[in-house]
Amino acid sequence: MSKTGSSGTDERRVYGVLAPVLTPFHADLSPDAGRLARFCRWLLAHGCSALAPFGTTSEANSLSVDEREKLLDAIREDGVPAERLLVGTGACSLTDAVRLTAQAVRHGCAGVLMLPPFYYKAVSEDGFFRFFAEVIERVGDARLKIYLYHFPPVAHVGFSRKLVERLLRAYPRTVAGMKDSSGDFANTKTMLDAFAQDGFDVFVGSERFLLAGMRGGGAGCISATANVNAGAIDRLYRAWRSPEAEALQAEVDAVRGAVEKVPLIPGLKAIVAHHAADPGWLNLRPPLVDLPPEQRAALLADVAALKLALPDLRG
Amino acid sequence: MSKTGSSGTDERRVYGVLAPVLTPFHADLSPDAGRLARFCRWLLAHGCSALAPFGTTSEANSLSVDEREKLLDAIREDGVPAERLLVGTGACSLTDAVRLTAQAVRHGCAGVLMLPPFYYKAVSEDGFFRFFAEVIERVGDARLKIYLYHFPPVAHVGFSRKLVERLLRAYPRTVAGMKDSSGDFANTKTMLDAFAQDGFDVFVGSERFLLAGMRGGGAGCISATANVNAGAIDRLYRAWRSPEAEALQAEVDAVRGAVEKVPLIPGLKAIVAHHAADPGWLNLRPPLVDLPPEQRAALLADVAALKLALPDLRG
């Protein structure tokens, strides 16, 4: 499973900059599949090497399993390529996780990005191992590639080094990598040092750590702000060995800093709504709510000052 | 909405001791509706005034929405009375919460016990308010009674006094009470003092606080250990004004103490499996796992020493 094996980098694996794609909603809060497919295509044409729909930024856990299934079917039918999708399929319920993961495999998606079951908190390593083992056995398909989504600040549960090791030992052809959204690069470094050489692809969860991640043997980043700044983040990804890398890192950090001044998901939707001249993008499902007008205005002013390269989305 | 209005206590409301009913699984981890219905009837005949299926102890968040719907239909068909059910219907997804809540109302259930949407953590009071407002408006049925399930140690989000006040002001006929599983009686006292006099029914989330709760104007308790000790907890509930109350409280505390030495849900399933002479009760859905044999043996020995009044469940 090494990505530096006889054939070099595994052609079917995804690398680089991935956006956990924002989910647009109609006014009645039903998901808007057509607008989502257009946005996916736009992201793939403007810096994203692949996409991670149904992540935290996608409000995926605010959707039902039926809604998630229908949306994936719809964007695939609308031409979004399966080989460029890491689909979020983690769920608290084993049966939900199996159903969503099996669907992604049926579509031929590059992989799935799985949160651990996140309701119970005092869960043993054995319990998490058994959850993933059940999903893998029940899906029962050699094409399945699982990326572990480590996000303790929100999920309050996550993947220890020992758990990753145990999963890799049991399912070396299935467990393909990780998104580390711990916000703690020391944790990312631990995972890189322990597993990257064996082809375990570690993506940083914020472009703030992209340069450090690449220097440590990482595979790229899967970051919320790639929804609005994928072009610049991709330039950094491609140039990480160059003398300009530090300057490019500072550039993407400045955009991240501006967006992080406000709640991230409503902030990103406000930026897309503005650049797409489409207020429908402001819709969020509760419990998330849109920004107060003055906060939105301040964010858009900050972003304008940074000359964010987000072209017209209307096309 | 006062429970001490012209007609005295509202006949349609539930009070007393409720069990968040354990969910039995077949060996393939599918829910066992027949065994669940039998256990519900047994609990209602042995100390539970009503039941709270699909709670934390029920592993409800480890089930899909389809599985939850089918189980509720099945136990209703099997004769479990709707007027004695507070059905757990909280969910991260608005559409799931609406669907489950509408089903409970269609069945004529006494009410629903709702967790807040628990994936996102840094959510504003306004976001939670909008979530519940959407559920109430979309279900759109005057029969709906919502009990708020406050459980910050596991959900990591919850109901502030201000949020309860706002919900009660907007939906006084729908927002009926709370289960406080904060483990902090000061919080329970705050809710009791602020809202109980207006008919807001506060249930403590552990029988450890039952006497204190009743003295403060509470409505009873909804407690995991009622799955195995409802008779004794009910005696305390009925005798809380009597001179024996303190001794009865100490008695139920001793049982709770024994069970709390091990992970609660596997511990309760081990006790039921033993008393029902039915090892099928040991099945848990991952991420929960059963107790190691030595821990199970120690628990059963502790419980035997306490002469837990759990008669034969096989009938």
* CB nearest A117 (choices: B62, B92, B155): B62
User: Is any Cβ of chain A less than 8 angstroms from the Cβ of B45?
Assistant: no
Contacts of A123 in chain B (CB under 8 A): 287-288
Contacts of A119 in chain B (CB under 8 A): 56, 61-62, 118, 154-155
User: Is any Cβ of chain A less than 8 angstroms from the Cβ of B28?
Assistant: no
pLDDT score of A307: 75
Per DSSP, helices labelled H in chain A are 33-45, 65-77, 94-106, 125-139, 152-155, 161-170, 185-195, 210-215, 226-238, 245-259, 264-275, 293-305
User: Is any Cβ of chain A less than 8 angstroms from the Cβ of B94?
Assistant: yes
Task: Give the pLDDT band of residue B7 (cuts 50, 70, 90).
Answer: very low
Buried b (16+ CB within 10 A) or exposed e, B212-222: bbbebbbbbbb
Q: Is residue B70 scored above 90 in pLDDT?
A: yes
Contacts of B138 in chain A (CB under 8 A): none
Average pLDDT over residues A63-90: 98
User: Is any Cβ of chain B less than 8 angstroms from the Cβ of A123?
Assistant: yes
Report the percentage of chain A scoring pLDDT > 70: 94
CB atoms within 10 A of CB A312: 9
Contacts of A95 in chain B (CB under 8 A): 63-64, 66-67
Our measurement of the distance from residue A254's CA atom to the centroid of its chain's CA atoms, rounded to an integer in Å, reads: 20
Average pLDDT over residues B96-117: 98
Nearest CA to A215 out of A224, A206, A228, A204 is that of A204
Nearest CA to B173 out of B144, B148, B150 is that of B144
pLDDT score of A4: 39
Nearest CA to B222 out of B51, B84, B39 is that of B51
pLDDT score of B307: 75
Sign of CA dihedral A143, A22, A19, A35: positive
Tell me what the pLDDT averaged over chain B comes to.
94
Question: Cα-flanking dihedrals φ and ψ of residue A5, to 5°?
Answer: -75, -160
Q: Are strands A201-204 and B86-88 parallel, antiparallel or unpaired?
A: unpaired
Q: Is residue A9 scored above 60 in pLDDT?
A: no
User: Is any Cβ of chain A less than 8 angstroms from the Cβ of B289?
Assistant: yes
Question: Cα-flanking dihedrals φ and ψ of residue A207, to 5°?
Answer: -65, -15
Q: Is residue A313 scored above 80 in pLDDT?
A: no
Task: Give the pLDDT band of residue B185 (cuts 50, 70, 90).
Answer: very high
CB distance B255 to B303 below 8 Å: yes
Test A120 with B92 for CB contact under 8 angstroms.
Answer: no
pLDDT score of A306: 85
CB distance B187 to B162 below 8 Å: no
Test B95 with A263 for CB contact under 8 angstroms.
Answer: no
Q: Is residue B91 scored above 50 in pLDDT?
A: yes
Nearest CA to B150 out of B167, B134, B170, B133 is that of B167
User: Is any Cβ of chain B less than 8 angstroms from the Cβ of A93?
Assistant: yes
CB atoms within 10 A of CB A151: 22
Contact map slice: B 267-286 vs A, CB within 8 A: 285-286
**Euclidean distance between CA atoms A125 and A127, whole angstroms:** 5
User: Is any Cβ of chain B less than 8 angstroms from the Cβ of A264?
Assistant: no
Contacts of B61 in chain A (CB under 8 A): 92-93, 117, 119-120
| Residues pairing with B201 in the sheet | B177
**Euclidean distance between CA atoms B133 and B171, whole angstroms:** 8
Tell me what the pLDDT averaged over chain A comes to.
94
Residue-wise pLDDT for A228-239, tens only, equals: 999 999 999 999
Q: Is residue B1 scored above 50 in pLDDT?
A: no
Average pLDDT over residues B82-103: 98
Residue-wise pLDDT for A254-306, tens only, equals: 999 999 999 999 999 999 999 888 999 999 999 999 999 999 999 999 998 88
How many residues in chain B?
A: 315
User: Is any Cβ of chain B less than 8 angstroms from the Cβ of A142?
Assistant: no
Average pLDDT over residues B69-83: 98
Query: Residue B30: what residue type?
Result: S
Task: Give the pLDDT band of residue A7 (cuts 50, 70, 90).
Answer: very low
Task: Give the pLDDT band of residue A127 (cuts 50, 70, 90).
Answer: very high
Residue-wise pLDDT for A26-42, tens only, equals: 999 999 999 999 999 99
**Euclidean distance between CA atoms B29 and B273, whole angstroms:** 16
Test A289 with B127 for CB contact under 8 angstroms.
Answer: yes
Average pLDDT over residues A157-184: 97
**Euclidean distance between CA atoms A116 and A112, whole angstroms:** 12
User: Is any Cβ of chain B less than 8 angstroms from the Cβ of A122?
Assistant: yes
Q: Is residue A200 scored above 70 in pLDDT?
A: yes
User: Is any Cβ of chain A less than 8 angstroms from the Cβ of B156?
Assistant: yes
Test B154 with A127 for CB contact under 8 angstroms.
Answer: no
**Euclidean distance between CA atoms B275 and B312, whole angstroms:** 6
pLDDT score of A1: 35
Task: Give the pLDDT band of residue A6 (cuts 50, 70, 90).
Answer: very low
pLDDT score of B2: 36
Helix (H, G, I), strand (E, B) or coil at B208: helix
Test B286 with A131 for CB contact under 8 angstroms.
Answer: yes
Min Cα–Cα distance to chain A from B149, Å? 14
Helix (H, G, I), strand (E, B) or coil at A5: strand
Residue-wise pLDDT for B199-235, tens only, equals: 999 999 999 999 999 999 999 999 999 999 999 999 9
Phi-psi region of A16 (alpha: psi -120 to 50; beta: other; left: phi over 0): left
CB atoms within 10 A of CB A15: 17
User: Is any Cβ of chain A less than 8 angstroms from the Cβ of B254?
Assistant: no
Min Cα–Cα distance to chain B from A140, Å? 15
